[in-house]
Amino acid sequence: MKELHLEYFEEAVNYMLQHTQVKGPGIGLLGISKGGELCVSMASFLKGITATALINGSVANVGSVLRYKDITIPPLGFNTKRIKVNESGIADIVDALNNPLEGPGRQSFIPLEKAECRFLFIVGQDDRNWKSEFFAVEGSKHLQAHGKEKPEVVCYPGAGHYIEPPFFPMCAASMHLLVGKPVVWGGEPKAHCKAQIDAWQQIQAFFHKHLTGKPPGTSSKL
């Protein structure tokens, strides 16, 4: 993963907007981790997006160069010396990334103030992949500083990085392709399980509110 071109995702957005089963006028985006960060980038640069929900996503571009037309956003730098490895060889990378508010890192901060949608940040407060709560707080500050509406931020104590649909088993550690070794994702099983159940409801309510204008429960379909 060296470069990602937003035109690729723009093609998908336009396809969905023209689909006969999509109500419109806009669509919703849902992403987790790097996918959440990509959703922020899509919402910031592409048209036709009404609501964006990200689960433990970043507000800085990470891992690869992002390109859209004549715009280039470099990846946020990192320092491998800040990675801790336990006796089992599993890495804790939560401190590896640089601060996107300082120095060269500012160039990696995604201009989410350009977005014309509402945001929902789902945050696991025991996320060990990166500092998701920090990203959500700074994203919220950034939006409000530019006159945008305050996003919804829902934090879950004891929840790790992979907040998936309800009843998926918690993923405590697995191989991280960018790091090249197993990493710990964080989370306490019971708290993480409860977070997955509640987050699923929060996400559905968010999309019902901003995509249909109806409260959740009025229809089985979004």
Closest C-alpha to 129, from 87, 175, 86? 175
For 11-25, the pLDDT digits (tens) are 999 999 999 999 889
Distances (CA, A) of 51 to 71, 91, 108, 182: 23, 34, 23, 33
For residue 172, is pLDDT > 50?
Answer: yes
Put simply, whether the predicted model's pTM sits higher than 0.85 gets the answer: yes
Q: Which CATH class is domain 3-212?
A: alpha beta
**Mean pLDDT confidence for 176-195:** 95
Distance between CA atoms of 116 and 175, rounded to whole angstroms? Answer: 36
Tell me which residues are annotated as active site. 33, 127, 161
For 100-139, the pLDDT digits (tens) are 999 999 999 999 999 999 999 999 999 999 999 999 999 9
Helix (H) or strand (E) holding 212: none
Distances (CA, A) of 54 to 91, 139, 150: 24, 12, 15
For 192-206, the pLDDT digits (tens) are 999 999 999 999 999
Ordered alpha helix ranges (H), the chain:
6-18, 34-45, 132-145, 189-207
Closest C-alpha to 52, from 64, 44, 60? 44
Strands 27-32 and 49-55: parallel
pLDDT at res. 217: 57
8 A C-beta contact, residue 30 and residue 39: yes
